[in-house]
Amino acid sequence: MGNILNEIGIENYIFLSVLLFCIGVFGVLYRRNAIIVFMSIEIMLNAVNLLFVAFSTYHQDAEGQVFVFFSMAVAAAEVAVGLAILVSVFRNLGSIDIDNLKNLKG
């Protein structure tokens, strides 16, 4: 593993993660469908997870990988709550377009 990392270089992992992260960010920014926004956030989190693993290997340290599990668990919990909210939004509004959520403003 270490060799591969050395061959590819940690920087490339970082660029890749950042790229993925940015894709997630842009997804969040540009998509109006709440589910897709969720998914974009998941992309962001997973980009980070990827980087964790990469760093973990880079440092020869297992803690990073353990952390990934934490983060995945947390993400799962988060999404569970998020989807629950989404469901009740959908029940009340009949739509999951986040542009419809404009009652609170001013």
Site residues (vs other proteins, CB under 8 A): 10, 14, 17, 21, 24-25, 28-29, 32, 34, 37, 41, 44-45, 47-48, 51-52, 54-55, 58-59, 61, 63-64, 66-67, 70-71, 74, 77-78, 81-82, 84-86, 88-89, 92-93, 98-99, 101-106
Report the nearest approach of other proteins to the CB of residue 3 (Å).
19
Q: Which of 46, 45, 67 is nearest to 56 (CA)?
A: 67
Q: If you ran DSSP here, which 8-state letter would residue 99 be given?
A: G
